[in-house]
Structure 1
């Protein structure tokens, strides 16, 4: 058919003499033969007249539908076909041509005639194209032609400037093969690309990479899982190549999005779904490896990318495959575990976090918190805890505090969420704090505890008001009190976990910080009025003291002066005077945890008469100088509070056990001879409380005090090893066992105590006598005078500030103390007579003290509130007055008495007075002796 009939231009072939000989030979070899096909036209036949005819001996390619692309010079419109194999033909017979027409309607000969002279035949094609074509076999199942691949690799290494063209041509072939569903050739093309990438490391590789990424993107866009996996594997190989030159214009946004999408694959086939997800994870891992070390690709840490990468990894980390619930063989289980998306996602997440710098930690942690919120994974807390363990162990240690701050900020943001959610966040925070025990929780340690205490106080308000707005009846959510209580316990546990990671000096600061938050009835603390305010204050006091107890349990310090500073101890002991029995018990437990430095608390958890204390294996060390100074400074204050706590009617068995432990631990850890004497006096005073019963205590309280004194004196007598003292104590205990067993711990501190109502008719033989004890201990070198003096606590401002019913009820106004503290009633001295003059002096002294206190208060207030100019002027006036007086003194010249010899003229003609020698001077009689 003529060419003009099919719409193609007729090519005017030049005459043969216009071509050189080598080109004529090429046309003879590869051109269309005369008489081959009737569609070539007469003009083509005349053009070939007289030229030796060489028929085409190429076999039609199966891959190209029977058309030859090598010998016939097929147009690039249809692409170059694989290499053809020559087939011998019969003599006198032309080779068979395909009867199938091409897309444009031309047969084989027509195409040859039309494009053979245009430079598209095999001999005139660029070398790199011929090398690329040669790597493809006739049958894709034969795989890559290795020898030709080596030729292509050598050519690429010899001429690196051709890499971009090789890549573009391979990309063109691959895109065409994908569209024609020739997946065998697609695999061969990707294999060739991988080998070229691994072999070529030169500056021109950037242009080649562009074509490579284009082909990978084409595969990832396909809906075929095998092509997606193939593209991912090639990208992973590329990601492991370290490039020498930076990339200024390369972008991986598409790959991040596509790999993240593959991580969430929901394919129906479980095996295929697993492979796709694993490919997505490997792809993300490749993106991370390729970009984190490239300063020009730092945008991988931007939130837009982290919001895709991190949730994709967490999704696979939390996803449990259905196949894992089966029971495969051990070998299969091992292989399955290696190929699990969960393990691969965890490994990728660790690598990502390990590469995160200081400024990128926030962008990497925020998607984790959002993912846990969106999928409600805080309440079970198992997965959340696992995630943050991975995070804490993966990031650099110096960045741990940033994760803690992120969690604290997230806790504040969810302050009005359900208690279970907040409890999950707090428990995860506790786990993270334990892992970050190497160092610091950041420069703002107190801010961490301030956040936790604020959450604790908010939880108390929620529980009392039943509303997240702290207004009764406003909230639409139902607040469960037991859930809030669980959250409060979680916060307290977290405070203890945080404190255990801190050094000793910071633990002391934290304890002082918590103690200052405790609302106490003092002039510097605001106490809410009303019943609701009292409940809120009480719960706040209890929770803060629980937190303080958690911190003190892990606190180890050999110096009590630094462990219990004066300001901290004053506030702590002030809480011991509260009416609430639970608060007093917490104070006692806190004091015990401070004093117990050898873990002896459990040995004295119950009150009993120990016949031989050597079985306890106590560690008794000599009191250090610092501890001696501490006891001299604070022992009387400590003993007074113990005495006052013993007088409380609301005490239960736990209080008496805590008091017993506290007394024993003081005797073991902090005692010297003076402290032991004071402790014995204190216990005898406690016995006097139970004996006289001026506070109207119940029978149980009185028997408990008797039993407490007996147990302690029995132990201290064996510690100081004075035989006569031990004998007296044992005699009294034996007498009680016979006549009054209800005065011993074995009958009192039991589930059903055996008490007696006739405590006022007890004989003197069942009491410990102060005179006897002072006598036996005085003979062993102890201070007998101090022992014979009954213990009397002193009234302080602390008692006035406490919320007790009446301080006057706890301390008697009588001056005579022997009548109250000594059981020897027959030796009472006459009481001092109180007259009008003594009362007047007492009142006047109080008024003078009040005036002096007021004056000091005004001075302090003036320096606190007055402007600086006024204070400077006041001080300047006093300085001016002092200076004027000094000037007057210096101006006074003491002239010596006139000399008998008169005056002499000194140098320069000035007169000079002679002084009389001292031995010649006459002094008044009063000055001479």
Structure 2
């Protein structure tokens, strides 16, 4: 009693407090009696609103706690916590803050032995409630919320380092703690300012801003999570984002997951990715924008995840994403079918929303794939290619039977676009490793030649894989290059493996280019990509034998135009002629046979004057002039086999095969070397 002055304004009686502390340290067995008495007195003072004495009692308790570190402190702590609880239960903000401050001091004391019977359930509930304070006065409200967050931080510190650590991670506690922190983090004004690795705010900011404090506490909580309890900490985040509709727009969701990924131990990254995939599955019937929001969060998580850590879940990620891609196309087509002739505005907007989902999926697949080490990347390329629905392949591809032609084409385009991203920057040692038969066969399938966009994607993927020296950028567009040496093309000697690849698969590549040139719906981009593919095959894979094959192919393309069995439109015929001119100009300079270069230059010069529409610079410009017919053209406008054979023969090439016209290889899928009609494919 002597430590309490007559007038509470005088504060704790220092001399008597020192005596009490000395007595408690000397006779620790008396501590629980001291604690019980102080607790009783504090309860009376709280009820009678004698807050001055309440402050003094708490100060005395704090000092005793700090001074005594013996076994006997355990019963004293029980009295202390009862008193803190009493303060937190009172409706008086000052007392709640006072109780919290004492609890935080206590939380920072390391006890010698764990307390097995002590529970913190009440404190978790109370501090969580304080985090959501709705006090009418803004300053008081902020003060209570800050106290609540500091209290949670205290509970986390106390229990995580304690033997009781398991209890704090139980769902019933995490379901209170995590949403309380997120609720305060949401109030942050500049969301993007704190998404990176942990920052250290200035002391003042830390104290005054609930959002900053909540975020630091959230980071600390996640940093302490272990293998067994990671999911319990992450699941309430999904529940909070669902409940408050924070997936669309998803800025806050993205910032939360960046914080999560930067705060957890790297080896647990795949837990978060798996939980996100699971949540995407659970919300598969939600609006497109919500699904797109979740997928974008997944993309952020994948971008930050340690490369090694996402290993075990790689195929699961791709499987889930591809499943949602098919679902999204299904929903989009369903909307289109259900809307009658007078399509409403909402339907068309929902359809475009599904495109947002599909693009988010492709971005994620592409980003994920291109971040993997090469050995895993080739596995993913095979996996995605195996999912592309093409005629005559295995049953692993995505089931598009109920989607019809339009849906199947959408899926094909989506998968090829993601494959294009996965193959970007992939650098295999040999071309056979980059283009194994189980990958190449479906890629060059007639099912993927049905329209110009599909063919463009196939050629771009091929170019990604063939181009191992980054020459593609130098070959962009299609033009007559005056001096190829200015391009500074990088190349190595053709390896034995690459020679044997061309012996085995060269005909497939030639046929694909040949048939690709005969398509009526070709646009300028198709011709540009066909040219790039021919140029890259020349750089990366052409020994003398392949050079002869490529010249035969070029002459055969010229013959398509001259003979015109296919009745191609005039633009296409001139486009093929321009392609052949640009390619032979490139090839002749690459193999540097003067007589061959001379013949090619002469034909190009003659065309410049007499038939400019046979050159890329003219046929591929916006205002082009097309000829009425190509019947009366002189021989000197064409590249002639006998002239080429003569020029190459003089340089030691074996030119006998040049006299044999190129004919596309016949296979089960390409009978008579022609592309089967779509109807034939579906009926067979």
Could you say if the C-alpha distance between residues 577 and 458 of structure 1 is closer, same or farther in structure 2, counting changes exceeding 3 Å?
closer
1:451-600 alignment runs, 5 A limit: 451-466=320-335, 480-522=350-392, 524=394, 533-575=404-446, 578-600=449-471
1:873-892 to structure 2, matched below 5 A, reads: none
Alpha-carbon contact 2:534-2:583 (below 8 Å) kept: yes
1:444-492 Cα offsets, whole Å, 9 max, x none, are 422211111110101111111129xx9889xx99671000011111111
State the Cα distance separating 1:600 from its structure 2 match.
2.6
Name stretches of at least 5 consecutive residues in structure 2 with no aligned partner. Answer: 191-200
Q: CA RMSD in A?
A: 2.5
In 1, Cα distance between equivalents of 2:495 and 2:162: 61
1:180: Cα distance to partner?
1.9
The 2-side partners of 1:652 and 1:769 are apart by 27
Partner SS state of residue 466, structure 1: helix
Whether 1:316 aligns to 2:184 is yes
Matches within 5 A, 1:278-677: 278-320=146-188, 335-336=204-205, 339-466=208-335, 480-522=350-392, 524=394, 533-575=404-446, 578-677=449-548
Helix, strand or coil at the partner of 1:557? coil
Is 1:711–2:579 an aligned residue pair? no
Secondary structure of the structure 2 residue equivalent to 1:359: coil
Q: Number of residue pairs matched? A: 663
Name the CA distance, whole Å, in 1 between partners of 2:402 and 2:233.
48
1:906 aligns to what?
none
Partner residue in 2 for 1:255: 123
More helix by share: 2
Per-residue CA distance 1:487-542 (angstroms, 9 max, x = gap):
11111111112112322122112121111222222275599999962222222222
TM-score by length of 2: 0.92
**C-alpha distance after superposition, 1:40-73 (max 9, x if no partner):** xxxxxxxxxxxxxxxxxxxxxxxxxxxxxxxxxx
Q: Superposition pairs for residues 50-61 of structure 1, below 5 Å?
A: none
1:805 to 1:798, Cα distance in 2 relative to 1, 3 A: closer
Secondary structure at 2:229's aligned position in 1?
helix
The structure whose Rg is larger is 1
Q: Bigger CA drift: 394-403 or 476-485?
A: 476-485
Who is 2:570 aligned against? 699
**CA–CA distance in 2 between the matches of 1:801 and 1:278?**
79
Evaluate the alpha carbon distance shift between residue 530 and residue 572 of structure 1 in structure 2; reply closer, same or farther with a 3 A threshold. closer
User: Is 1:745 aligned to 2:627, yes or no?
Assistant: no
Matched, 1:245 2:113: yes
> How much does 1:423 deviate?
0.4
Contact 1:574 1:802 in 2 (8 A): no
Is contact 1:527–1:533 with CA below 8 Å preserved after alignment?
no
What CA distance in whole angstroms lies between the structure 2 residues aligned with 1:532 and 1:257? 51
Distance 1:561 1:482 in 2: 40
Q: Describe the SS at the equivalent of 1:509.
A: helix
Check the 8 A contact 1:466/1:472 in 2, yes or no.
yes
Residues 499 and 551, structure 1, Cα contact 8 Å, conserved in 2: yes
Do the aligned residues in 1 keep the contact of 2:531 with 2:579 (CA within 8 Å)? yes
Q: Which shifted more, 624-633 or 356-365? A: 624-633
Change (3 A) 1:367 1:695: same
CA pair 686-334 structure 1, distance change in 2 beyond 3 A: farther
Distance 1:596 1:523 in 2: 27
* Aligned CA distance change for structure 1 residues 523 and 276 (closer, same or farther; 3 Å): closer
Structure 1 residues 617, 138: CA separation in 2 closer, same or farther (over 3 Å shift)?
A: farther
Residues 307-356 of structure 1: per-residue CA shift (max 9 Å, x gap): 1000000000001479xxxxxxxxx9994465211111111001101111
Q: Which runs of 5+ in 1 are unaligned?
A: 1-132, 323-331, 810-929
Q: Distance in 2 between matches of 1:634 and 1:442?
A: 32
SS, match of residue 759 in structure 1: coil
2:27 and 2:664 map into 1 onto residues whose CA distance is: 101
- Does the 8 A contact of 1:579 with 1:803 survive in 2? no
- How far residue 576 of structure 1 moved from its aligned partner, in angstroms, is 6.3
2:412 partner SS = helix
Change (3 A) 1:338 1:248: closer
Over 3 Å counting, the alpha-carbon distance change for 1:759 and 1:220 in structure 2 is: same
Tell me, yes or no, if the aligned pair for 2:448 and 2:458 is still in contact at 8 Å: no
Q: Does 1:772 align with 2:632?
A: no
User: How far apart, CA to CA, are the structure 1 residues paired with 2:236 and 2:401?
Assistant: 46
